[in-house]
Amino acid sequence: MASHHLSNCIGGRKSFIILSIIFLCSLGLLCLMYYNLPDFDEEELKNFKLPRNIEEAKSLGKVLIKYNESHYLFVVFGFFITYIFLQSFAIPGSIFLSLLSGFLFPFPLALFLVCLASAVGASCCYMLSYLVGRRLVWSFLPNRAMQFSDKVERHRDQIINYIIFLRLTPFLPNWFINVCSPIVNVPILPFFLGTFIGVAPPSFMVVQAGTALHHTTSSGETLSITSIIVLAVLAISSIIPVIIKNYFKKKFD
């Protein structure tokens, strides 16, 4: 018994080391990309940071939008990679990047980027958990993992719909779904597709809010007719996730 416990401790420590190495390498590549950014002046550099609230997202958006014409692909690629990095390692802040996408890009592109980056980032988290997370999950979250496993088994025939349901509802945090899915044998393709579709309704609202934020900013911080229309559309569209969530809730409860 003691030797089994010692083995688990050593295995858990090894998993932490591997995960730390992968994280540091990913962070290094991200820093290398930012090192090759276009030249910003000193005032702009103050606002060039990962946004933690709406005001910081708006300030960063004002900086980046100036470079959209001359460095458009770089801005799109930088946004996409940063979003994937946050999702892969369950780092908070992706909601403000979703808001920023509506500020920077046309709405269809912004929504597609957010959904794709969410699905790719969640899948990266899935793969990391598959490689090193099994011991950690069963050591630190055995009860929740067992409950999740039971629910997945009950809905295995409709696994894509179930993943969509989980993404739409707050019953389980997204990081937990990402980490536990490979451990309870959720296949990667249904996981990816369910995530891509499931994050679309809430992302729709956040991206639309970013679009409204862009209109109010570009009109001198005052509400123009365009921004009022956008805000009205946002208010109406907020009903859509509720309808979808209620549909899946009835189906899986």
Q: What is the pLDDT of residue 38?
A: 66
Mind listing the pLDDT tens digit for each residue in 180-210? Answer: 999 888 999 999 999 999 898 888 888 888 8
Instruction: Report domain extents, the chain.
Output: 13-252
Average pLDDT (96-101) is: 90
The token pair at 54 is 């709406």
The residues near 162 (Cβ < 8 Å, ≥ 6 apart) are: 151, 152, 155, 194, 252
The pLDDT mean for the chain works out to 78
At residue 120, the pLDDT reads: 97
Question: How many other C-beta atoms can be found within 10 angstroms of the C-beta atom of residue 185?
Answer: 11
- Chain segment 9-37, per-residue pLDDT in tens: 445 577 778 888 889 999 898 888 777 76
Separation of alpha carbons 225 and 228, rounded Å: 5
Percentage of the chain modeled with pLDDT above 70: 76
Per-residue pLDDT, averaged over 165-171, amounts to 80
pLDDT for 44: 72
Per-residue pLDDT at 87: 94
The whole-angstrom distance between residue 193's C-alpha and the CA centroid of its chain comes to: 14
pLDDT of residue 68: 78
Q: Which of 63-67, 92-96, 234-238 has the lowest mean pLDDT?
A: 234-238
Residue 212 CA: distances (Å) to CA of 25, 94, 166, 226: 37, 18, 28, 9
